[in-house]
Amino acid sequence: MRQHLAWILAAAAVLAAAPTAPAATPDCPRLGGRWHGDHRARLQQVIDAGGTCSGHTGAVAVFDWDNTVTKNDVTDATLSWALRHDRLPRPARWKDTSAWLTGAADRALTAACGTGAGAPLRTSTAPRCTDEITSVRDNGTTTSGAPAFAGSWNHRRTVPQYAWVPQLFAGRTPAELASYATAARREALAAPVGATRTLGTRTVPAYVRYYDQQRDLIRTLHRAGFRVYVVSAGAEPVTEVWSRAVGVDAAHTIAIRPVLDGRGRITPRTEGCGGAPASRGAVIPYIDGKRCWINQEIYGIHGADAWHRQPPRLRPAIAAGDADTDVTFVADATGAHLVLNRNKPELMCRAYDDADGRWLVEPMFIAPLPRRTQPYPCASTARTAPDGTAGPLLRPDGSVVPDQTDTVY
């Protein structure tokens, strides 16, 4: 009964949020593909309620990109390609690449890669340099385990190693970065599913695939009159290369946006949101930052208000994600919260708690993870606070979300 009522309320919320169109013969595009349980039918309900089947157009759907629309990370694939083809520019000082880079990371990168602006880094023949860069990107540490980033930042608005990727391309143009992404895309789509390669001395995924179910969902949403957006914590010139293949153009793709210099070249600075100015990565589409960028870029809400949850008519009908970086905007959806299970605690605690009866948990469509054997620590450490400390996850009414068992895998 609770679930049935929740979906009636969800449909009503979608109808309230969707601008009306002139009456016409109902057009009910149908979602296909293989989905877990009754998820296809439940998504179809939201599509029908907010789209052309009900005489509406203009409802919004928002998707995270990496590991939500694709299997594997397209920014990582681009960085891998650039490292193997000597496309990273050598910085004058590694400290200049990030406001939070530690002295230990600066020394490790300088020793492994050198400095001196102008020449490309010869990473294709310098595995030690490649290892240091990928360790900082993937782990936030040097290869020796020293912290790569330190200082103060809002942990719900940015993570330094994500912001660091476009900063590594400072001096290149967005078109050059897009050309690297295009080459990496061609390579990753040609590699067999499950393929790996050696990058430096580490083994990394060599392939990327679009999820067929997500491509079909996006196609169905477009046919039903939805406005479909991508919001990603990757580099925007890279994400745009991949998103256009599912019919999402640059105007509907939101990711980390580098500030350009007077010659149109990428700088270490990134655009701001919600009244925050441009900075060296202090505000990116990350956790609460994704809500801010959605409110600002899709709904035209600027200043401090962009950080706050909006009324239903100014929120997406459908939102999809796979990681804690997506939890805020996915929770904002009025019709369906679509989650791909990658065992990320804050997101999975929200999803399994299913407070409004609208959360849909899907195993990954390619190579799903096995069941998590221990409950998610929702009541103790699932939520990351702005200062980086871990604490209990709360429902909107202030009650604590109890620990949750992994049941969809």
**Is residue 401 in some structural domain?**
no
**Is residue 44 in some structural domain?**
yes
Report helix, strand or coil for 358.
coil
Specify the pLDDT at position 117: 80
C-alpha to C-alpha distance for 265 and 239, rounded to whole angstroms: 18
Are residues 178 and 62 located together in one domain of the fold?
A: no
Hey, CA dihedral for 332, 69, 338, 194, is it positive or negative? Answer: negative
Are residues 111 and 52 located together in one domain of the fold?
A: no
CB-CB neighbours of 125 under 10 Å:
8
Are residues 238 and 364 located together in one domain of the fold?
A: yes
Give the burial class of 113: count Cβ atoms within 10 A of its Cβ; 0-12 exposed, 13-18 middle, 19 or more buried: buried
Are residues 279 and 309 located together in one domain of the fold?
A: yes
Are residues 286 and 233 located together in one domain of the fold?
A: yes
Distance in angstroms between the alpha carbons of the first and the last residue of the chain? 25
Are residues 115 and 169 located together in one domain of the fold?
A: yes
Torsions phi, psi for 308 (to 5 deg): -105, 150
Are residues 48 and 110 located together in one domain of the fold?
A: no
Instruction: Kindly tell me if the per-residue pLDDT of 118 is higher than 90.
Output: no
Q: What is the DSSP letter of 62?
A: E
Each residue of 24-71: pLDDT tens digit? 457 899 999 999 999 999 999 999 999 999 999 999 999 999 999 999
Quickly state the pLDDT bin for 23 (edges 50, 70, 90): very low
**Is residue 31 in some structural domain?**
yes
**Is residue 229 in some structural domain?**
yes
C-alpha to C-alpha distance for 209 and 250, rounded to whole angstroms: 20
C-alpha to C-alpha distance for 85 and 210, rounded to whole angstroms: 24
Instruction: Kindly tell me if the per-residue pLDDT of 93 is higher than 70.
Output: yes
Q: Which distant-in-sequence residues (6+ apart) come within 8 Å of 25 by Cβ?
A: none
Instruction: Kindly tell me if the per-residue pLDDT of 5 is higher than 50.
Output: no
**Is residue 399 in some structural domain?**
no
* Residue 157: domain span: 74-205
Specify the pLDDT at position 75: 97
C-alpha to C-alpha distance for 286 and 73, rounded to whole angstroms: 15
**Is residue 407 in some structural domain?**
no
Specify the pLDDT at position 119: 87
Each residue of 212-247: pLDDT tens digit? 999 999 999 999 999 999 999 999 999 999 999 999
Are residues 78 and 49 located together in one domain of the fold?
A: no
DSSP-assigned letters across all residues of 270-281: E---TTPPPBSS
Are residues 180 and 225 located together in one domain of the fold?
A: no
Specify the pLDDT at position 13: 53
Provide the number of structural domains found in the chain: 2
Each residue of 281-328: pLDDT tens digit? 999 999 999 999 999 999 999 999 999 999 999 999 999 999 999 999
Residue 341 in contact with residue 369, Cβ under 8 Å?
Answer: yes
**Is residue 408 in some structural domain?**
no
Residue 70 in contact with residue 209, Cβ under 8 Å?
Answer: yes
Q: Count helices and strands (H / E) in the chain.
A: 12, 14
Are residues 303 and 227 located together in one domain of the fold?
A: yes
The domain that holds 65 is classified in CATH as: 3.40.50.1000
**Radius of gyration (Cα) for the chain, nearest Å?**
21
Q: Which of 205, 228, 259 is the last residue of a domain?
A: 205
Each residue of 333-342: pLDDT tens digit? 999 999 999 9
C-alpha to C-alpha distance for 322 and 290, rounded to whole angstroms: 13
Closest CA to 200 of 120, 122, 124: 124
Instruction: Kindly tell me if the per-residue pLDDT of 200 is higher than 90.
Output: yes
**Is residue 311 in some structural domain?**
yes
C-alpha to C-alpha distance for 132 and 113, rounded to whole angstroms: 8
Are residues 39 and 171 located together in one domain of the fold?
A: no
Q: C-alpha distances in angstroms, 180 versus 81, 172, 236, 246?
A: 7, 11, 13, 19
Are residues 357 and 222 located together in one domain of the fold?
A: yes
pTM for the model stands at: 0.93
